[in-house]
Amino acid sequence: MLWRDCRLGAVEAYGSSWHGVGIEGGRWDYVNLRGSRVERVRVDGCHLGELDLSEAAVRELARPTARILGISVDGDEDRPPAD
């Protein structure tokens, strides 16, 4: 599956399975993949506001030119300082 140039506010996909998914371009403000299975996912040229991967099984997540402002993993949040 390929998502191209999408503008999404919130993606509530907790407990889901993402296998062989591509995200190219666009802007996603919040992506909740808590407790999901993420395998062979490529995020390229996309702006992600916040990505929640808490309790997720992640294998092969490529993000060559994506901008991710915040990532939550196992309940801990890692955010870069504001511009």
Residue 81, pLDDT score: 47
pLDDT at residue 52, as a whole number: 94
Which residues does 80 contact at the CB level (< 8 Å), separation at least 6?
Answer: 69, 70
**Cα three-residue angle 57-63-68, rounded to 5 degrees:** 90
Which pair of structure tokens corresponds to residue 40?
A: 């062979």
Q: How many Å from the N-terminal Cα to the C-terminal Cα in the chain?
A: 33
Q: Whole-number mean pLDDT of the chain?
A: 87
Q: How does pLDDT run across 39-61, given as a tens digit for each residue? A: 999 999 999 999 999 999 998 88
In the chain, domain spans:
2-74
Instruction: Note if the pTM is more than 0.85.
Output: no
Output the six-digit token pair for 30: 């919040």
Write the pLDDT tens digit of every residue in 57-77.
Answer: 998 888 888 888 888 887 545
Query: What distance separates the 2 farthest-apart alpha carbons in the chain?
Result: 33
